[in-house]
Amino acid sequence: MSPRRLRPWSSRPRFAAIRDAVRRTRRRRRHRLLKPLTPPAAGSGSKATETNGATCGQRECAPNMGQELGLEVLPEDIIHRIHSIMPVQDAARAACVSRRFVHSWRSYSSLILSDRTLGLDDTDFEERKTHLIDKVDKILKNHYGNGVKVKTLKLELGLCSDIKASYLDRWLRIIKSGIQEFSLVLPLVMNKIYNFPCSVLSDEAAASSIQSLSLFGCAFHPTSILGRLRRLKSLHLCHVHITEDGLGHLLSKSSALERLVIDACSGKICLKIPCTMQQLKFLAVKLCKMVRVVEIDAPQLGSFHYGGTPVIYVRNSSQLKNVDISPVCLSGILSYARFSLPSIAQNVESLTLRGRSENANTPMLPSKLPRLKNLEIALLKPHLSPNYDAFSLVSFLDASPALESFILRVSLYVHLSEWY
């Protein structure tokens, strides 16, 4: 990348970390120079000796007291450390104004590339798309050519609806051993949906190092060639087309997974979370309109957020303490929850229910939610039946002997992002 050259004064506010590091180094060096060069022997020293030693040390360091320490005196590892904590745009600018940062930039391992981080967010839309693709291509080509091990790679390409698959395939070559976090964001509307290549994670070295994977706006069809994702802890799929078999292959290779979010994905009817997911603690399934059944067998699952048609089966639910259910369009969610939750989430402590169209009153039932402490129910008034009796919600209060907090919200309008 060839970053834009800045005026000298425009870069000053961006190098507070550099300035602080230089000042700390200067203080340490000054402190060392103030010490006597030869400490007096134990028991034989006198105040005069100590005074002479201190005076000598001060006299020798006096010429250095007024000198400013530049970046050239800092060790290479400190330069790399300072550079690594800068945002990518500032890191590139630092390489423009300091030769010490040029080498560090060539091995910069945390790449978050978007129109905003590359300083393109104030340009014309069409020009922004062209420059974004060009800059990302140059940065990744340089890093790949120099053999840099990238730890974090985030490609936010929501503007680029006409980007060619060949560019993306070339950029993804940089995913090698040592990659820890990868995120790809593509436009929802593209000339042709991009098929994320399974071969990227077929290499065992790359597959075994990745800890976080996030895909947005593409298709992903994992097969048996997928490498074992031994360290993968977080998986987020949003607007991704993935089949039941593909998701099964992916989960079978992700035994260390702790957090799974499936948001507005297509291609599957039944979502199965197998018993091999021994470490899974958080599961969210939202707006997957094709999903009709969710089967969960994850013994450590503690939180479950679901937005869809609620036909849910849960085994080993002893650790399930937090449940949030928001149906897309189905009526009767409150009745469903009152019937089903005592059997599928016996130990739930925090429960949030959002009802869009309640036509029947919530029934009184003998089953209990003995550990429920916090209950929140949200209703969307325009969709409620005029005959619906809100006092029937007392059924939940009757079923919750340990209840500490109850919140009832009735809204005329709610934004989709707040609802799900």
CATH number at residue 150: 3.80.10
Q: pLDDT tens across 33-79, in order?
A: 445 444 445 444 444 444 444 444 444 444 444 444 466 677 777 87
Task: Tell whether 175 and 280 lie within a shared domain.
Answer: yes
User: Which residue range forms the structural domain that includes residue 358?
Assistant: 325-420
Give domain status of residue 93, yes or no. Answer: no
Amino acid at position 259, single letter: R
Query: Residue 158: helix, strand or coil by DSSP?
Result: coil
Q: How long a stretch of residues is the chain?
A: 420
Task: Tell whether 247 and 263 lie within a shared domain.
Answer: yes
Give domain status of residue 330, yes or no. Answer: yes
**Burial label, 341 (beta-carbon count in 10 A; 0-12, 13-18, 19+):** buried
For 352, which DSSP code? E
For 4, which DSSP code? P
Task: Tell whether 230 and 347 lie within a shared domain.
Answer: no
Q: pLDDT tens across 123-141, in order?
A: 788 888 899 999 999 989 8
Task: Tell whether 30 and 158 lie within a shared domain.
Answer: no
Contact yes or no for 249/274 (Cβ under 8 A)? no
Give domain status of residue 104, yes or no. Answer: no
Q: How far apart are CA 45 and CA 55, in angstroms?
A: 15
Task: Tell whether 196 and 296 lie within a shared domain.
Answer: yes
Contact yes or no for 179/145 (Cβ under 8 A)? no
The mean pLDDT value for 393-412 works out to 91
Q: How far apart are CA 264 and CA 287, in angstroms?
A: 5
Give domain status of residue 101, yes or no. Answer: no
Contact yes or no for 3/92 (Cβ under 8 A)? yes
Task: Tell whether 299 and 204 lie within a shared domain.
Answer: yes
Return the higher-pLDDT residue of 394 and 103: 394
Task: Tell whether 284 and 386 lie within a shared domain.
Answer: no
Task: Tell whether 255 and 149 lie within a shared domain.
Answer: yes
From residue 224, how far is each of 202, 247, 248, 279 by CA, in Å? 9, 11, 10, 22
User: What's the confidence (pLDDT) of residue 145?
Assistant: 79
* pLDDT grade for 373, boundaries at 50, 70 and 90: very high
Task: Tell whether 168 and 258 lie within a shared domain.
Answer: yes
Query: Residue 12: helix, strand or coil by DSSP?
Result: helix
Task: Tell whether 227 and 113 lie within a shared domain.
Answer: yes
Structural domain ending residue among the three candidates 320, 343, 367: 320
Structural domain ending residue among the three candidates 57, 76, 95: 76
Give domain status of residue 103, yes or no. Answer: no
Give domain status of residue 91, yes or no. Answer: no
> Average pLDDT over the chain, rounded to whole?
80
Task: Tell whether 279 and 257 lie within a shared domain.
Answer: yes
Give domain status of residue 102, yes or no. Answer: no
Q: How far is CA 373 from the centre of its chain?
A: 30
Give domain status of residue 96, yes or no. Answer: no
Task: Tell whether 412 and 292 lie within a shared domain.
Answer: no
Structural domain ending residue among the three candidates 320, 344, 379: 320
User: What's the confidence (pLDDT) of residue 28?
Assistant: 58
User: What's the confidence (pLDDT) of residue 11?
Assistant: 45
Number of domains in the chain: 3
Q: pLDDT tens across 324-354, in order?
A: 998 766 667 888 888 889 988 989 999 999 8
